[in-house]
């Protein structure tokens, strides 16, 4: 008797991409004003358009001593879930330890006018300018975005398969003699068996019962040089493995 088991499976899928924004002539960007930003080109990740916003003088009066980085959703879309992070690259392109990465999935919703997320205090301006990442008045920041593309819960039905009992059924078939088509006579004792089972389990019996030997035409076969208990055990092994 089989039983059915249901399992709920939650599957989340996401697409990750990166965009590098290179700032040339960094010193000329200073002094553009608090809350003033510089846009990167628009790029696409996860089917949505994004842009990086760089605030050289900070995004507010409270953050005027810091540089700020934000990522902005440029697509006219709602219900977008994404993680993001910013990393300043070294001059050889290797990521530096000047980085921030979100640990939460941010969600845009309908009716909101705030589609930007970022770090108002990404790094203090004096610390950044003293770092080796700024060279020849230029630096590169890399924005990595992971967009959640699928959230789905499905139910799977699993049927519990009972353990195999084929050998038990075959042994019962041997003992009941039902449908037996051949009889072996071993020193006066008769044993009924089934041609197809013997042929499937033994190449010798297959040749004897279905080949060119004369036994294929007879229903009774006499076996010599074996004792009845031994032959009976052999038949039991053939049927039950």
DSSP string, the chain: --EEEEEEEEEEEEEEEEEEEEEESHHHHTTS-TT--EE---EEETTEEEEEEEETT-SSGGGTTEEEEEEEE-SS-SSEEEEEEEEEEPTTS-EEEEEEE--S-EEE-TT----EEEEEEEEEHHHHHHSTT-BTTEEEEEEEEEEEEEEEEEEEEEEEPPPP-HHHHHHHHHHH-TT--EEEEETTEEEEE-HHHHHHH-HHHHHHHHSSSGGGG-SEEEE-SS-HHHHHHHHHHHHH-
Residue 134 contacts residue 128 (beta carbons within 8 Å): yes
Which of 154, 182, 204 is the last residue before a domain boundary? 154
pLDDT of res. 214? 60
Kindly state whether residues 199 and 117 are assigned to the same domain.
no
Kindly state whether residues 143 and 171 are assigned to the same domain.
no
Strand segments, DSSP code E, in 56-105 are 66-73, 80-89, 95-101
Kindly state whether residues 137 and 105 are assigned to the same domain.
yes
Kindly state whether residues 35 and 104 are assigned to the same domain.
yes
pLDDT of res. 210? 85
Kindly state whether residues 134 and 186 are assigned to the same domain.
no
Domain range for 189? 163-240
Q: How far is the C-alpha of 98 from the C-alpha of 86, rounded, in Å?
A: 8
pTM (global) more than 0.75: no
Which of 103, 130, 154 is the last residue before a domain boundary? 154
Kindly state whether residues 84 and 32 are assigned to the same domain.
yes
pLDDT of res. 161? 76
Q: How far is the C-alpha of 37 from the C-alpha of 29, rounded, in Å?
A: 9
Residue 36 belongs to domain with CATH number? 2.60.210.10
Kindly state whether residues 52 and 82 are assigned to the same domain.
yes
Residue 183 belongs to domain with CATH number? 3.30.710.10
pLDDT of res. 111? 53
pLDDT of res. 113? 47
> How many domains does the chain contain in total?
2
pLDDT in 10s for each residue of the chain, 241 residues = 556 778 888 888 899 999 999 999 999 999 999 999 999 999 999 999 999 999 999 999 999 999 999 999 998 887 888 999 999 999 999 999 999 998 777 777 655 545 889 999 999 999 999 999 999 999 999 999 999 888 788 887 777 777 888 888 998 999 998 988 899 999 999 999 999 999 998 888 888 888 776 655 678 889 888 999 999 999 999 998 8
Kindly state whether residues 107 and 203 are assigned to the same domain.
no
């Amino acid at each position: 008797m089989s039983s059915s088991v249901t399992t709920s499976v939650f599957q989340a899928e996401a697409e990750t991409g990166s965009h590098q924004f290179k700032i040339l002539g960094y010193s000329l960007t200073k002094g553009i004003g608090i809350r003033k930003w510089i846009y990167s080109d628009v790029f696409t990740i996860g089917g949505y358009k994004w842009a990086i916003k760089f605030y050289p003088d900070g995004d507010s009066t409270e953050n005027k001593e810091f540089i700020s980085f934000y990522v902005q959703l440029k697509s006219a879309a709602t219900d977008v879930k994404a993680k993001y992070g910013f990393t300043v690259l070294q001059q050889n392109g290797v990521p530096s330890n000047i980085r921030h990465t979100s640990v939460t999935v941010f969600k845009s919703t309908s009716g909101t006018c705030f589609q930007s997320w970022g770090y108002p205090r990404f790094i203090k301006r004096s610390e950044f300018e003293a770092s080796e990442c700024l060279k020849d008045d230029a630096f590169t920041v890399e924005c990595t975005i992971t967009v959640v593309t699928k959230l789905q819960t499905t139910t799977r039905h699993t049927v519990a398969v009972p353990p195999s009992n084929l050998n038990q059924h075959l042994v019962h078939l041997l003992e009941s003699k039902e449908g037996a088509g051949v009889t072996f006579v071993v020193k006066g004792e008769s044993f009924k068996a089934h041609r197809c089972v013997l042929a499937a389990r033994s190449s010798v019996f297959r040749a004897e019962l279905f080949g060119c030997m004369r036994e294929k035409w007879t229903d009774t076969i006499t076996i010599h040089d074996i004792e009845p208990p031994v032959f009976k055990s052999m038949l039991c092994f053939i049927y039950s493995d």
